[in-house]
Amino acid sequence: MRMASNCYTCIMDRAKFEGDLVFSDDAPKKEVMEELLDFMACHKGGVPALVGTERERILKRKSGRDDPYRDIKAESNRVAQRLVPLAREFYEQSQNKLEALIRIAAAANSMEYGVKGHDFDNATFSQVFRKTLEERLAGDLDEVKRRLEAFDRILYLTDNCGEMVFDLFVIEKLEEMGKKVVIGSKSEPILNDVTAEEISALTNTPVVPTGPVVGTTLEDSSPEALKLLRDRNWLILAKGMGNFETMSEYDDQLKGRLIYVMRAKCEPVAMTVGVSRGMLVVRPV
């Protein structure tokens, strides 16, 4: 997916949001914004998530903080842990177990900060989570079910902290169904995404690092992750808009074994997918 007109302002808005997280003075915030503007002027029409990756690199360098979202990530995990029993109850009461897992995974992708037009608050998420699980889910569920039944091996590409707590529940159930799962997570902190090191501490499921970028690219992935991405025996379940923005560049290479799961939180992603902004989406490619 390539930059749309509103991607430029969205990326800048998030830079301001993040600058407010790490700086008390305006001068360094201004420096971050100006350096990002210079970069964007020289990289028109790129992949939004990769432009966002450069924003994160600028912010880290200017602030000297390797994980600006550390506190938010920890709070998100605590919120999600309190809601796991609700997800478990929803799953156990559902007649269609595979659809229930997809719904849990998609609903969890609501846990995102700094996206223009998407309001999220840890303090109120517990009040809306059950309703979120029952929202309309856009996508070909029959094809998703067919693929989940046909593949014995799944590469599960994670997105945010908080969300990943629910992902671990989904993965647990997939493994109980006899699936071999490998988790792909970031090789270092970026945005509020979970890293391979962080998620490895919480699960016995194998984890491979997917690179230091927003989303997942073949160029930046570790050799272990790249091997699975290219192996046609592995189904790829990709969480979140960053993975959609980056991996849609490889749709032709991954056709028939890729499933995107997300909330379409921004207008350009929603338009590309063909849904209304804010909808839960499962998209087999």
Model pLDDT for residues 52-63, shown as the tens digit of each residue: 999 999 999 999
| Type of residue numbered 54 | E
pLDDT value, residue 127: 76
* Closest-CA residue to 110 (of 138, 129, 87): 129
Question: Which stretch of 40-49, 107-116, 192-201 has the lowest confidence by average pLDDT?
Answer: 107-116
Residue the block writes with tokens 């997300």: 262
- The domains located in the chain, with CATH, are 5-63 (1.10.8), 70-284 (3.40.50.10880)
Rounded to two decimals, the pTM is 0.94
Its sign, for the CA torsion 119, 125, 130, 133, is: positive
Question: Where would I find the beta strands (DSSP E) of 127-212?
Answer: 137-138, 153-157, 180-185, 207-209
pLDDT value, residue 128: 80
pLDDT value, residue 35: 98
Model pLDDT for residues 123-177, shown as the tens digit of each residue: 667 778 888 999 999 999 999 999 999 999 999 999 999 999 999 999 999 999 9
Model pLDDT for residues 185-221, shown as the tens digit of each residue: 999 999 999 999 999 999 999 999 999 999 999 999 9
> Distance between CA atoms of 63 and 31, rounded to whole angstroms?
11
Q: DSSP code of 249?
A: G
> Distance between CA atoms of 109 and 86, rounded to whole angstroms?
16
Average pLDDT, the chain: 94
Name 156's bridge partners. 183, 237
Q: DSSP code of 195?
A: B
pLDDT value, residue 125: 76
pLDDT value, residue 147: 97
